[in-house]
Amino acid sequence: MKNTIDYSQKANWCCFPEITKDVDTFYIFATEYIMGSFAEGAPDYGSLDNEEMIQGMNLEYLLHATTYADSTNVFAPYYRQSGLKYAGEVYKRDGNLDAALIGMPYDDIIAALDYFFEHCNNGRPFIIAGHSQGSALVKLVLTRYLKEHPEYYKRMVAAYVIGYAVTKEDLEANPYLKFATGEHDAGVIISWNTEGPKNVEVNAKTVVLMPNGISINPLNWKLDETYAPASMNLGSLVENEKTGEPEIGDAGADAQVNLARGSIVTNAKIAPMPEEDAKVAAQFFGPDGRHGEDYTYFYNNIKDNVAKRIATFHNLTIGQFTI
């Protein structure tokens, strides 16, 4: 028996909601075991008593996962994730994160999904979503777990694989998976990776972009390079300068697909970072990476899009999405 987390214990969930909506979201957190993973002798994987990781997951729930909360019941498990240092080493070796995730992180997520579907979901349609390492795990769930469970997959409203590349090869290898073609389709994958113009100028290599990656524009929901001005942005999540609390505001976040890089390029305002954090971010995401803002720049547009895809799903026959 695999040594996984006991998800019947509510303490092992960052969010375990009361059921008030007719659709669920299962959200998988990004890498939050970051600076501590570079310490001398630090383990490759964060334990569930890792303070940096748990605090980061709790904050990420507020900044990212709440985009799904207006329309769905959001379930978000804690899990023992790969530290950033180890994930970077695996990426440099393999060109993807799979080897850092297969094992403890994936096993924990599968245990959480088993509990979710058997004891919580009660046959409702669902969204599966994540960011960064979480989205890499969503990809594994799509290509492994949901392939093995078509009875679940046919109820999938959408998969938001934000902050990690979905490639043409991923779709060709798994033809039952479909990428979104607009803002209303259901049973599809939605994905993008955000960066600034300087990354394009220097052709920066990042750990979340891959050859033949696909990004959809989160403002105009197009796959081509049609520019979407910031006037199409329904509201970004920004920090209140006086209180330090997040609030809806204007970050100047426009968006344009860069087909060659498989990314979204934006001229949005850049939030300042501590010097050491900025050095680490540049190492992994380039000199003008906006990875941490994949959700916050387009916060209200994501909320609006979730509602639209749910409406489409309710108007379609579920059997359309079987494998």
Q: What is the pLDDT of residues 101-157, one digit of tens each?
A: 999 999 999 999 999 999 999 999 999 999 999 999 999 999 999 999 999 999 999
Evaluate whether 50 touches 153 at the Cβ level (below 8 Å).
no
* Mean of all residue pLDDT scores within the chain: 94
d(CA 316, CA 248): 33
pLDDT at residue 271 tops 90: no
pTM of the model: 0.95
pLDDT at 3: 82
Q: Which of 184, 190, 196, 95 is nearest to 135 (CA)?
A: 190
R_g over Cα of the chain: 18
Q: Residue 55 above 50 pLDDT?
A: yes
At residue 317 the predicted structure's pLDDT band, cuts being 50, 70 and 90, is: low
Phi, psi of 26 (to 5 degrees): -110, 110
